[in-house]
Amino acid sequence: MPVTNFTVQEKYQYLEGFGNHQQSEAFPGASPVACNNPQRPPFGLVTERISGSSFTSPRSHTLQTWLYRAKSSLVHSEFKPYGNKMKTPKAHMTPNALRWMSFPVEPGADWTKTALLAYSGDAATKTGLAVYLYAITEDMETAHAFSSLDGDMLIIPQSGTIDVQTEMGNLLVRQNEIAMIPRGVRHRVTLPCGPSRGFICELFQGHFRLPELGPIGSCSLANIRDFQVPVAAFDGKLQAGRALGNDRTWTIISRLGGNLFSCTQDHTPFDVAAWNGTFYPFKYDLARFCVLGNTLFDHADPSIFTVLTAPSYREPGTAVVDFAIIPPRWNVMENTYWLPYYHRNTMTELSGAIITNQDPSSPWNQGLNFQPYGATLNSGMACHGANSDAHRAAEEQETTPKKVQNEGFTIFLLETECPLWVSDWAVECRDVLKTREEKAKPKM
């Protein structure tokens, strides 16, 4: 059955569909009928809209959601720098292939403490993207919420589970699932079963969409019905016909231009009693991805493994980023080199592993170390492919049908037309790792 055998049981209900106009209410009658902005919304609620696209975007690209909440998000203190002082990340660009077997992590980190791995473009001009790492051992502080004002956040857990409370409802995001939190949507992340680690692709330019299918037809790859959307979950109660939020002092932490800012407000950010629209969080189980492949000979382009894309529109077929996976699958191609052929690609490729072994006792699932490796980065037009031993084995292997299990993990790819700058922190991680590897080599 094409779903992951999760060790952590689901605890939330969801709507289904990608890009559909959805609506949900935490209690009957909270959502106005017909008029999006009534003079007096039900239960003393106030109307607020969050727009992810310009007002005059084509209908198929319009992203907006109406929220009906106990109190407006308008009332808060002045935003001030949060944590470290304002900074401009120092970075490096190289055509050399980079590989990290692991990344250093710090105990006591929560969702607000992520490390910048690589980026391109500029959030201020809404161009490009950034890739962050998270390795967290702690829940976010009580009455703290986070949002990225820079871009949509595609969350790719490598191991562990996160529980995400958002303005539109709750998501339980487990190993081998991905989630997307739209730009500006406030959320709080907790850990229901211990540490979690993974990647965040923050998209400055445009929004994630399903790839066009062309001659594939109307289904396969990631199907619309398999995306799960949260239902409204009101943080409060009904009293005397009014919706009252569980008010207390909250700290709102937001990322803008790569820097963190914070403000305080006297009410919960999760007091949304009803919502309707097209701009909302979602999650997706990667085991539901309908894999396609060659059934006689040759090797299709890896674009057939694309789950989500963010088109750039510079020219047809280009993308700010494609998110693709190489999951367990059957190979049946006769007289064909089964490994990825050596290639130089106009896209920059950052890859990592999603551990799909769901046994919590597995060494891959323990602690925060990134295993079986951290990440690799191949620059645009830099040749990459199998090492010599794997190449020889692929030349000699029998090409009879075989289930390819990837040694228990799924590879993910972030393919971008943008050259990536690698952060100082990431270069230092690699330098430390390289030194360790050299010391571990047997002396001649």
- Mind listing the pLDDT tens digit of every residue in the chain (444 residues)? 567 888 899 999 999 999 999 999 999 999 999 999 999 999 999 999 999 999 999 998 999 999 999 999 999 999 999 986 556 667 899 999 999 988 877 788 999 999 999 999 999 999 999 999 999 999 999 999 999 999 999 999 998 899 999 999 999 999 999 999 999 999 999 999 988 999 999 999 999 999 999 999 999 999 999 999 999 999 999 999 999 999 999 999 999 999 999 999 999 999 999 999 999 999 999 999 999 999 999 999 999 999 999 999 888 888 999 999 999 999 999 999 999 999 999 999 999 999 877 666 666 666 666 766 789 999 999 999 999 999 999 999 999 999 988 777 899 999 999 999 999 999 988 876 666 556 555 554
The answer to whether residue 103 is domain-embedded is no
Domain boundary among 285, 310, 342: 285
Number of other residues whose CB lies within 10 A of the CB of residue 377: 25
In this structure, is residue 60 part of a structural domain?
yes
Identify whether 1 is part of a domain.
Answer: no
φ, ψ (nearest 5 deg) of residue 278? -125, 0
Contact 26, 274 (CB under 8 A): yes
Is 238 a member of any domain?
yes
DSSP string, 82-135: -SSPP----EE--SS-EEES-----TT--TT--EEEEEEEEGGGTEEEEEEEEE
Tell me which residue of 409, 412, 420, 442 sits closest to 98, measured CA to CA: 420
Q: Is residue 438 part of a domain?
A: no
In the numeric block, which tokens belong to residue 409? 């993990």
Residue 104 located in a structural domain: no
Do residues 229 and 315 both lie within one domain? no
Q: How many CB atoms lie within 10 A of CB 372?
A: 14
Say whether both 265 and 307 belong to one domain.
no
Same-domain status, 310 and 413: yes
Instruction: Give, in order, the Cα–Cα distances in Å from 126 to each of 150, 318, 321, 403.
Output: 8, 17, 14, 42
Same domain, 294 and 274: no
Among candidates 58, 36, 86, which has minimal Cα distance to 313?
A: 58
Name the strand (E) or helix (H) holding 305.
none
Rounded Cα distance, 240 and 341, in Å: 68
Angle subtended at Cα 179 by Cα 301 and Cα 408, rounded to the nearest 5 degrees: 60
Cβ-contact 384, 391 below 8 angstroms:
no
Closest CA to 295 of 242, 337, 332: 332
CB 42, CB 30: distance < 8 Å = yes
Residue 116 shares a structural domain with residue 255: yes
Domain region containing 402: 289-429
pLDDT of amino acid 435: 64
The reply to whether 241 and 351 lie within a common domain is no
Tokens of 443: 């002396």
In a domain, 99, yes or no: no
Domain ends where: 285, 304, 328? 285
Residue in this structure with the two tokens 């001659």, named with its chain if needed:
215
Q: What is the Cα Rg of the chain in Å? A: 23
Residues 6+ apart with CB under 8 A from 401: 330, 331, 332
Looking at residue 444, its pLDDT comes to 45
Cα–Cα distance between 282 and 431 in angstroms, integer? 37
With b for 16 or more beta-carbon neighbours within 10 A and e for fewer, the 62-80 pattern comes to bbbbbbbbbbebeebeebe
Asked if residue 387 and residue 404 are part of one domain, the reply reads yes
Instruction: State CA 387 to chain mean position distance.
Output: 30
Only one residue has tokens 């299990």, namely: 405
Q: Are residues 190 and 260 in the same domain?
A: yes
361 in the same domain as 376: yes
384 is in an annotated binding site: yes
CATH (domain of 378): 2.60.120.10
**Residue where a domain terminates, one of 227, 258, 285:** 285
**pTM score, whole prediction:** 0.95
How confident is the model at residue 419, as a pLDDT?
94
The verdict on 313 and 334 lying in the same domain is yes
Name the 3-class secondary structure at 388.
Answer: helix
Q: Verify that 297 and 406 share a domain, yes or no.
A: yes
User: Which of 92, 187, 267, 299 is the catalytic position?
Assistant: 299
Tell me if 77 is assigned to some domain: yes
Predicted pLDDT of residue 259: 93
Overall number of domains in the chain: 2
349 is in an annotated binding site: yes
In angstroms, rounded to a whole number, what is the distance separating the alpha carbons of residues 168 and 180? 13
Same domain, 267 and 317: no
Is 267 tagged catalytic?
Answer: no
**Cα–Cα dist 365/406, whole Å:** 16
**H or E stretch covering 395:** helix 388-396
What local confidence, expressed as pLDDT, does residue 359 receive? 65
Residue 358 sits at φ, ψ, to 5 deg, of: -85, 0
Type of residue at 374: G
Beta-carbon-side half-sphere exposure of residue 148 (alpha carbons within 13 Å): 29
